[in-house]
Structure 1
């Protein structure tokens, strides 16, 4: 069944956890960046007593940079902290510096399904019989400890539902969408988001982050520099059952950074790289079997032509006027990226509810009041 996603109101700031110094946007979410939308499609099933039905905890999350992304690209950059994971469309971003699609997030074995569905959605959006190609971006993390990942339960209709549901405003977090079956630092993880705003010299820019957190070991978890993980014994919050041959800390994290600041592709790449510093601050080390992938895009330069064979006189222009954030402001954007990424990961843990998977594996949500107590006493 497809589960209706609800917005859980408890977040890190509700617990008095304030990360960094820059102010947030109104929703403290990636959707604070004008034009950015997020949609979820959550798949879950109840466990039968005879255990004959597969246990499903998975889904799809989409990030839409702006309404015309199918035909109007934006500048983007990518970074890899550790490569035991996959993100389609990366070679073209590295080559051209352009993001040409909505971004899909899902589980490891459904990546191809989501990618093909985004191609179909893009073709339908353009409504053209002309020559056309699509290289959509889809990233994955492994939810096989909590879901029947080999059952290939994600389908085209779930991708279309997530696109249809994509909206601005509050973003449901935790065990929703593609985050339904994810585990973070041996607690339940999933989707988290946060934003930061910078205003000076007559300019105002918003930077937002969305993560799919599925990485890390309990004892290494730190929030705002405080040793949270080592303060929570397994007798208080049990760690998930780990099958033989599965290394703790495996599983991966995807970080998507969006901003309306006019960043060029190389600046987007630098932003994506800094998101990995937040993972390190929280205790991630880019473990051997963790796929830690980051993408940053900027909507600050609109009107970029899509393809040279479009029937569009604009593509024949010899020059395209662009704007660029001054280099001396990049440190500010690095700071905001690290702050928002750390808060987004924290929100993904705070919002996540306990989820039961196959083989007696349970990922327990971290009780917000327990976290509040430990955080303020440490």
Structure 2
């Protein structure tokens, strides 16, 4: 169940065709999933087709809501306000192997034969509740698979790729995505979000709290590592400073879904643009900032609502959110009409 299937309205701005980050032209998403034995982990790749020999970087911004985590490549991103590689998400102790594999992959791109420096951007959350995180199971073959299988159009969500073993808000977490269509300074633009959820708190949908212990009638699933990675893409021609502002709204949006913002939660948002042209005036950014918050809120909810009950490492169990319970709570609160 996705948010638009509950159904809940999109807010002030309409959803894109696929309601996914891939609604931004040129963005592809791919996954490599590992679900065997004690492993529930993987890789998710966000690939901008605009990157290549003719365009080596894209403007980008970053918000570190809480820096208890590993987002590789942040110092150069901060310094130069740009990314120069696809963005990969994975398991916390596998981030370094994934970064190495990403560099090896890019050195093989046409036109990169003389490249001597690359800044791989790799984010992570800790899927150690459902997966043997110390095994560091993600390797070059999984990175290659995620990149090779990246596609435009609909994006697989829930227990897939980097979301295979995550938990969030007391339930099974995962990968979620959403998009909004917005007017920025008289130009029609798209903003899309993709989230890897693995954080604590009480699930909140449309302002209605749904604590896991109440919804499930049993203890909530534990969240190990307690982190969240959010990636935003837009075709609005915004610069890196403006993208910092967009990324900040993504971390704010975590509060809408009930995030606890715990001490050990690595909460990061990275925003980049594939647009071209002069950046708009800051005074025209309100629609983009609002649309980014709405897209992130929905992507985070989709990451949980599309996930399925998963049993993993040491026979631990993370349960899916019961769709009927969500609709019932929303009806009781008057958000949805009576059945």
Deviation at 1:357, TM superposition (A): 1.6
Equivalence for 2:317? 362
CA distance in 2, matches of 1:16, 1:130: 52
Equivalence for 1:277? 252
Any conservation in 2 of the 1:62–1:104 contact (CA below 8 Å)? yes
2:26 corresponds, among 35, 41, 46, to 35
Change (3 A) 1:338 1:59: same
Deviation at 1:130, TM superposition (A): 2.3
Deviation per residue, 1:190-226 (Å, 9 max, x gap): 1000000013765210000000000022xx3211211
Gaps of 5+ in 1: 1-9, 46-53, 243-247, 302-321
Q: Which moved more, 1:255-264 or 1:61-70?
A: 61-70
Question: Is 1:266–2:252 an aligned residue pair?
Answer: no
Deviation per residue, 1:3-56 (Å, 9 max, x gap): xxxxxxx311111123422101100000000000000000001xxxxxxxx411
CA distance in 2, matches of 1:367, 1:177: 22
Number of residues of Structure 1 aligned to a counterpart in Structure 2: 332
What SS is found at the alignment partner of 1:175?
A: coil
Question: Greater share of strand residues, 1 or 2?
Answer: 2
Query: Pairwise mapping of residues 163-174 of structure 1 onto structure 2 (< 5 A)?
Result: 163-174=147-158
Question: Is 1:343–2:325 an aligned residue pair?
Answer: no
Q: Which moved more, 1:273-282 or 1:257-266?
A: 273-282
Any conservation in 1 of the 2:129–2:224 contact (CA below 8 Å)? no
Equivalence for 2:337? none
Deviation at 1:326, TM superposition (A): 2.3
Question: Is 1:104–2:88 an aligned residue pair?
Answer: yes
Deviation at 1:369, TM superposition (A): 2.1
Deviation at 1:367, TM superposition (A): 1.7
1:21 corresponds, among 9, 12, 15, to 12
TM-score (norm 1): 0.84
What SS is found at the alignment partner of 1:125?
A: coil
Any conservation in 2 of the 1:143–1:149 contact (CA below 8 Å)? yes
Any conservation in 2 of the 1:196–1:340 contact (CA below 8 Å)? yes
Question: Is 1:289–2:268 an aligned residue pair?
Answer: no
Deviation per residue, 1:53-76 (Å, 9 max, x gap): x41100000001224346521100
Deviation at 1:234, TM superposition (A): 4.3
TM-score (norm 2): 0.93
What SS is found at the alignment partner of 1:166?
A: coil
CA distance in 1, matches of 2:124, 2:266: 9
Any conservation in 2 of the 1:178–1:212 contact (CA below 8 Å)? yes
CA distance in 2, matches of 1:205, 1:376: 34
What SS is found at the alignment partner of 1:255?
A: strand
Question: Is 1:222–2:204 an aligned residue pair?
Answer: yes
Any conservation in 2 of the 1:238–1:364 contact (CA below 8 Å)? no
Deviation at 1:184, TM superposition (A): 0.7
RMSD: 1.8
What SS is found at the alignment partner of 1:369?
A: helix
CA distance in 2, matches of 1:201, 1:212: 31
Change (3 A) 1:78 1:153: same
Change (3 A) 1:249 1:68: closer
Equivalence for 2:193? 209
What SS is found at the alignment partner of 1:216?
A: coil
CA distance in 2, matches of 1:134, 1:341: 29
Gaps of 5+ in 2: 334-339
Say which one has the larger Rg: 1
Deviation at 1:93, TM superposition (A): 1.0
Deviation at 1:331, TM superposition (A): 1.4
Change (3 A) 1:147 1:230: closer
Deviation at 1:148, TM superposition (A): 1.0
Deviation at 1:85, TM superposition (A): 0.6
